[in-house]
Amino acid sequence: MSAVTSPLAWAHVQPAAARRLLTGAIDAFAERGFQATTTRDIASRAGMSPAALYVHYPSKERLLFEISLYGHRAALEILTEANEGGSPSDRLRAMVSAFTAWHAEHHTIARVVQYELAALSPEHFAEVATIRRAISAVVEKTLTDGVTDGTFTVEDLPGTTIAVLSLAVDVARWYDPTRHATPQALGTLYADLALRMVQA
Amino acid sequence: MSAVTSPLAWAHVQPAAARRLLTGAIDAFAERGFQATTTRDIASRAGMSPAALYVHYPSKERLLFEISLYGHRAALEILTEANEGGSPSDRLRAMVSAFTAWHAEHHTIARVVQYELAALSPEHFAEVATIRRAISAVVEKTLTDGVTDGTFTVEDLPGTTIAVLSLAVDVARWYDPTRHATPQALGTLYADLALRMVQA
DNA sequence: CTGGTTGCTAAGCGCTTGCTTAGCTTGGCG
DNA sequence: CGCCAAGCTAAGCAAGCGCTTAGCAACCAG
């Protein structure tokens, strides 16, 4: 099972009822947004009464935090694994390909991760922001390596880092599996575009 | 620059109280999202009681529609004007530069335009979707022209069109005028990156 | 068997929501 | 002046919100 195509492992969420609530919440948050989703909606997606939610989670916000935290960790892991070994070009290609494919494959989770940050409590947001900085740092490091060894020409390093990540992240906004290419094909296309953006 | 003082022409919105409600709604929707914004919040930003909103607009959704419609029209106009005259390279550079700068300059309106589509009524969404298709068509046409005259090499035309637009649109998500470059500088950088993505 | 823990539901509490109603004030016009 | 429309507010309604409480059935350990 490749890192690119692996489904997010929610097996660690126990018991099964808690997992059903979590996956129901992902679908609901991605569809309507956090604020427009009711606890009654989440509970009914899990086949339960509204009160059952509070047996497993102390609040609706906590549910969002669990999703956001695991989503961010998965995204960082995907990037870090793709960044192991090879030339800067190889690593950038692997990272953009995997990161893009992940945002397409898991566009529901990715939407929650990228667009519901403002609904997190300040403490929970701070925890997630740490992971986000690490994600930027991984990409910026690879670009720096490429500039150093002469394979990349980058005029504005932080700006180009944001652009490369931004390209992949925005996939979550528009991607529809019934209308667009496979996540892998999109990853390949985007990796090519990103390489063109920085090649010397 | 707040939506209130931005150079987007809201002068056509009359009377002044209606305009104050509209600009207050832009700021509130951009900050918290449509669903999390209350009519009491919008009214108080305009210095009025909650009931005064309904003198000028029949519903909260209608306020969103007016903002979304005008924002989409402004975005299409920006693109169309930048696409007039010159080589495909010149036109692509001008479009990406202007479209990116617009999304940075008007990131509050752009956030409402790009992220609150799901809150529109089906009829209002359909109206706005027409403009969105026109926006894609303008960019795709210029890429096609560049491929035809040999200045561009594009493997996947619809995919690359989305990527170019996506790059600029995502600026609205992360742009912060206190932390990032000026809209003009960002536009120049992004125009360069976009040209690199497609040049033969 | 008994006693306690786990996972759940029915009912509902206090509060906030979008929006409505009734009525007041203001300014223009005969 | 009298009249009316425009623009506003205070008060509040019905509905829906996140979350709590009380209690019940199923299970397992002793």
Q: What is the pLDDT of residues A60-103, one digit of tens each?
A: 999 999 999 999 999 999 999 999 989 999 999 999 999 999 99
C-alpha span between A80 and A135 (Å, rounded): 8
C-alpha span between B171 and A98 (Å, rounded): 22
Q: Cβ of A59 < 7 Å from strand D?
A: yes
Backbone φ and ψ of B73, nearest 5°: -65, -40
pLDDT at A3 over 80: no
| Among B164, B166, B175, B199, the residue to mutate for chain A (most A Cβ within 10 A) | B166
pLDDT at A1 over 80: no
Give me the pLDDT at residue A85, please: 83
What b/e string do you get for B91-129 counting C-beta neighbours within 10 Å, with b at 16 or more? bbbbbbbbbbbbbbbbbbbbbbbbbbbebbeeebeeebe
pLDDT at B145 over 60: yes
Tell me the two tokens of residue A48.
């339960």
Q: Cβ of A118 < 7 Å from strand D?
A: no
| Among B155, B197, B198, B199, the residue to mutate for chain A (most A Cβ within 10 A) | B197
- Binned at pLDDT 50, 70 and 90, residue A8 comes out as low
SS3 content of chain B, % helix, strand, coil (to 5): 70, 0, 25
Residues forming beta bridges with residue B152, ordered by sequence position: B199
Give me the pLDDT at residue B3, please: 38
Cβ atoms of A83 and A91 within 8 Å: the answer is yes
Q: What is the DSSP letter of B118?
A: G
Tell me the two tokens of residue A29.
């948050």
Q: Which of B155, B171, B197 sits opposite A197 (nearest CB)?
A: B197
The CA distance from A55 to the nearest CA of chain B, in Å, is 26
Give me the pLDDT at residue A5, please: 41
CA dihedral over B156, B160, B161, B162, signed as positive or negative = positive
Give me the pLDDT at residue A2, please: 40
Task: Provide the 3-class DSSP secondary structure of residue A130.
Answer: helix
| Short-list A92, A120, A64, CA closest to A200 | A92
Give me the pLDDT at residue B6, please: 46
In tens, the pLDDT along A97-152 reads: 999 999 999 999 999 999 999 999 999 999 999 999 999 999 999 999 999 999 99
| Residue A160 with chain B: CB contacts under 8 Å | 189, 193
C-alpha span between A56 and A68 (Å, rounded): 17
Taking the mean position of all CA atoms in its chain, how far away is CA B135?
A: 11
Give, in Å, how far the C1' of D4 lies from the CA of A57. Answer: 59
Residues forming beta bridges with residue B199, ordered by sequence position: B152
Give, in Å, how far the C1' of C24 lies from the CA of B64. Answer: 30
pLDDT at B99 over 70: yes
CA angle A125, A168, A115 (to 5 degrees): 35
In tens, the pLDDT along B35-93 reads: 999 999 999 999 999 999 999 999 999 999 999 999 999 999 999 999 998 999 999 99
Cβ atoms of A82 and A99 within 8 Å: the answer is yes
pLDDT at B2 over 50: no
| Short-list A166, A164, A167, CA closest to A154 | A164
Task: Provide the 3-class DSSP secondary structure of residue B85.
Answer: coil
Q: Cβ of B121 < 7 Å from strand C?
A: no
- Binned at pLDDT 50, 70 and 90, residue A200 comes out as confident
User: How many Å is the maximal CA-CA distance in chain A?
Assistant: 61
In tens, the pLDDT along A158-179 reads: 999 999 999 999 999 999 999 9
Tell me the two tokens of residue B119.
């809150």
Give me the pLDDT at residue B8, please: 59
| Residue A167 with chain B: CB contacts under 8 Å | 163, 166-167, 170
C-alpha span between A191 and B197 (Å, rounded): 11
The CA distance from A50 to the nearest CA of chain B, in Å, is 21
Give me the pLDDT at residue B5, please: 35
pLDDT at A6 over 60: no
Q: Which residue of chain A comes nearest to B117, CA vs CA?
A: A32
| Short-list A108, A170, A152, CA closest to B159 | A170
Give, in Å, how far the C1' of C23 lies from the CA of B52. Answer: 14
